[in-house]
């Protein structure tokens, strides 16, 4: 069994991004908008800021009061859209309930949408065109699969979860690479039967769902989930200790998809349109 | 075995659209652009024109020489976009090779994009938002499934084909309705095993691919393919005579998905934004 070392690959990717940024005529500038004071969001934003610094991308974190109105936020995004110095805009989610997340995401210029969440970028991906940006997590997972030369073309891929940030774009990107993709979710019946068919299993559920004997021998398991177990220890969707006896490849939590997501985001933030 | 009578349902849908159009304050106006003189395209355009007439939607067919330049075509679309009288724009595909189809589709205003093919509409569908228009064929198929009360939620759906006009939007729309969706294509291995798992099988391949014993008993088979066999007879992807002994539901060719596509397109063309 081979552990997919996302930590090590993320360092390689960040080094490549750094070298690219050094050769750009214009320094990329990422604007990160953080609304309110959610502790987890603050950590994520800080990690992004530090990663940007590391690769030589200028970043500005704009912290806004949780009571900011939707229209004020939309005005700010429009200002950033027309600010020629700003090359990337990222709104840290979740947003407070009084703000319509979709409206906010739609307001971001597709050419600065480093998360790849705007309808135009999502739509281009869905019809097989090149979006300005691919969503960071699935893009990072593909980098990981490619690094370890795991065949995607013709592979039977089962995705658990259908979120807009992982499951759905992951399905599109793997379909584009000629995988046969099955998307499962809370309404899926006979889940174990489906998991057993997977050459590549991608779990993005957020609870310990992939347990012993569920997965075919020698398959590749990508664990996107990350949460704390009852002992406060960071863990993923997959029973790693058990799986490591039967899986061919497995991405650990932490140290798998997490660091790849950040590296993939920095790869996006280094693109200047 | 129950035959899904798309012909009969299409008449019901068209009657409903007609009643709706009569009550609109503004008559919808569909502009159909036909480039060149492809015989099949002419027939399709004529069918759309006749259907529009039947439901009281004004239509204008704009026939353009096959040698028209891409920029001239884009200029025309921009004029139609800003023409307040025109509420829907449809470019009949395929286009001549010297014209970039994607550029042309992207030029159509999403609010007039009755085919639902622009990146904004595709993107909205992909992230679970309401697009201005759903693509006609998958929308027509959902109407057919709903008419016969075939359960979609939790169903195992296998889609053969991943085109932008059928397979991909079909997957998105069924996922939104909580089906478990597997998308298969030319790179899929062990296709028969996958077909056997389907509660609902949707075949959009364009050749006789679904043959005897492949499908689970009592499943629902939707045949999107339409082509002429060696005897010149119109036929679909599915071996209807054989399947009709084992399937629970089956859509015939002709008289299944075809008329539903036209009715669904007219439903779209009746929407005025």
Residues A141 and A253 placed together within one structural domain of the fold: yes
CATH number at residue A73: 3.40.50.10860
Query: Would A66 be classed as within a structural domain?
Result: yes
List all residues of chain B from 102 to 161 with a beta carbon under 8 Å from chain A.
102, 117-129, 153-154, 156
Give me chain A's average pLDDT, please: 96
Banded model confidence at residue A246, pLDDT cuts 50, 70, 90 = confident
Query: Would B118 be classed as within a structural domain?
Result: no
The answer to whether the Cβ–Cβ distance between B185 and A178 falls below 8 Å is: yes
Residues A148 and A91 placed together within one structural domain of the fold: no
Domain boundary among A93, A109, A125: A109
pLDDT tens string B207-240 = 999 887 788 888 999 999 999 999 999 999 999 9
Structure confidence at residue B217 (pLDDT): 85
Structure confidence at residue B215 (pLDDT): 85
- Tokens 């994009």 appear where? B113
Residues A66 and A144 placed together within one structural domain of the fold: no
The answer to whether the Cβ–Cβ distance between A180 and B179 falls below 8 Å is: no
Query: Would A37 be classed as within a structural domain?
Result: yes
Do residues B80 and B89 touch, judged by C-beta distance below 8 A? yes
A168 has catalytic annotation: no
Banded model confidence at residue A186, pLDDT cuts 50, 70, 90 = very high
Find the catalytic residue in B5, B48, B139, B223.
B48
Say how many domains are in chain A. 2
Query: Would A2 be classed as within a structural domain?
Result: no
Distances (CA, A) of A201 to A180, A192, A225, B58, B89: 12, 12, 12, 51, 42
Structure confidence at residue A9 (pLDDT): 98
pLDDT tens string B175-216 = 999 999 999 999 999 999 999 999 999 999 999 998 877 888
Q: Does A194 touch chain B (CB under 8 A)?
A: yes
The pLDDT of B10-20, averaged and rounded, is 98
Banded model confidence at residue A243, pLDDT cuts 50, 70, 90 = confident
Structure confidence at residue A242 (pLDDT): 85
Query: Would B123 be classed as within a structural domain?
Result: no
Residues 6+ away with beta carbon under 8 Å from B154: A187, A188, A189, B178, B179, B180
For B177, which residue in chain A has the nearest alpha carbon?
A187
- Tokens 């299944």 appear where? B256
- Contacts B124 to A, Cβ<8 Å: 119, 123
Residues B141 and B52 placed together within one structural domain of the fold: no
Query: Would B36 be classed as within a structural domain?
Result: yes
Residues A60 and A150 placed together within one structural domain of the fold: no
Q: Which helix (H) or strand (E) holds B30?
A: strand B29-35
How many angstroms separate the CA atoms of A190 and B182, rounded? Answer: 14
Residues B146 and B254 placed together within one structural domain of the fold: yes
**Phi, psi of B101, rounded to the nearest 5 degrees:** -55, -40
pLDDT tens string B135-146 = 999 999 999 999
Residues B248 and B188 placed together within one structural domain of the fold: yes
Instruction: Sort strands B234-235 and A200-203 into parallel, antiparallel or unpaired.
Output: unpaired
For B128, which residue in chain A has the nearest alpha carbon?
A164
- Contacts B190 to A, Cβ<8 Å: 156
B237 has catalytic annotation: no
For residue A3, the SS3 value is: strand
Asked if the model's pLDDT at residue A271 lies above 80, the reply is yes
The pLDDT of A212-216, averaged and rounded, is 79
Residues B161 and B244 placed together within one structural domain of the fold: yes
For A164, which residue in chain B has the nearest alpha carbon?
B127
Residues B230 and B143 placed together within one structural domain of the fold: yes
The answer to whether the Cβ–Cβ distance between A127 and B119 falls below 8 Å is: yes
How many angstroms separate the CA atoms of B29 and B15, rounded? Answer: 18
Domain with B72 in it: 27-109
CATH number at residue A234: 3.40.50.720
Residues A102 and A156 placed together within one structural domain of the fold: no
B103 has catalytic annotation: no
Q: Which two tokens stand for residue B169?
A: 């939007």
How many angstroms separate the CA atoms of B164 and B176, rounded? Answer: 17
Find the catalytic residue in B92, B112, B113, B239.
B92
For A177, which residue in chain B has the nearest alpha carbon?
B187
Residues B167 and B235 placed together within one structural domain of the fold: yes
Query: Would A81 be classed as within a structural domain?
Result: yes
Lowest-confidence segment of A22-31, A245-254, B196-205 by average pLDDT: A245-254
Asked if the model's pLDDT at residue B16 lies above 80, the reply is yes
Judging by beta carbons within 10 Å of its beta carbon (0-12, 13-18, 19+), is residue A103 exposed, middle or buried? Answer: middle
pLDDT tens string A135-167 = 999 999 999 999 999 999 999 999 999 999 999
The answer to whether the Cβ–Cβ distance between B180 and A182 falls below 8 Å is: yes
Q: Which helix (H) or strand (E) holds A193?
A: helix A191-196
How many angstroms separate the CA atoms of B208 and B240, rounded? Answer: 10
Asked if the model's pLDDT at residue A55 lies above 80, the reply is yes
Residues A96 and A171 placed together within one structural domain of the fold: no
Q: Which helix (H) or strand (E) holds B180?
A: strand B180-184
Structure confidence at residue A7 (pLDDT): 98
Query: Would A187 be classed as within a structural domain?
Result: yes
Name residue B33's beta-bridge partners: B62, B91
List all residues of chain B from 196 to 235 with a beta carbon under 8 Å from chain A.
none
């Amino acid at each position: 069994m081979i552990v997919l070392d996302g930590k090590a690959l993320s360092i390689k990717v960040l080094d490549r991004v750094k070298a690219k940024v050094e050769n750009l005529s214009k320094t990329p500038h990422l604007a990160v908008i953080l609304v309110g004071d959610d502790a987890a969001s603050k950590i994520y934003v800080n990690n992004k800021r530090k990663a940007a610094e590391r690769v030589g991308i200028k970043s500005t974190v704009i912290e806004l009061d949780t009571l900011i109105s939707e229209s004020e936020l939309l005005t700010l995004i429009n200002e950033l859209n027309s600010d020629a110095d700003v090359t990337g805009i990222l709104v840290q989610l979740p947003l407070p309930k009084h703000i319509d997340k979709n409206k906010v995401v739609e307001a971001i210029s597709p050419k600065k949408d480093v998360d790849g969440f705007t309808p135009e970028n999502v739509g281009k991906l869905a019809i097989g065109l090149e979006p300005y940006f691919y969503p960071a997590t699935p893009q990072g997972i593909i980098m990981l699969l490619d690094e370890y030369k795991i065949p995607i073309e013709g592979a039977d891929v089962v995705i658990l979860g259908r979120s807009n940030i992982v499951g759905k774009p992951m399905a599109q990107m793997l379909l584009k690479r000629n995988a046969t993709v099955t998307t499962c979710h809370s309404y899926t019946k006979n889940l174990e039967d489906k998991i057993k068919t997977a050459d590549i299993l991608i779990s993005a559920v957020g609870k310990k769902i992939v347990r012993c004997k569920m997965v075919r021998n020698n398959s590749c398991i990508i664990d996107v989930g990350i949460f704390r177990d009852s002992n406060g220890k960071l863990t993923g969707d997959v029973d790693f200790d058990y799986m490591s006896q039967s899986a061919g490849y497995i991405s650990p939590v932490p140290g798998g998809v997490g660091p790849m997501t950040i590296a993939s985001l920095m790869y996006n933030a280094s693109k200047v349109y």
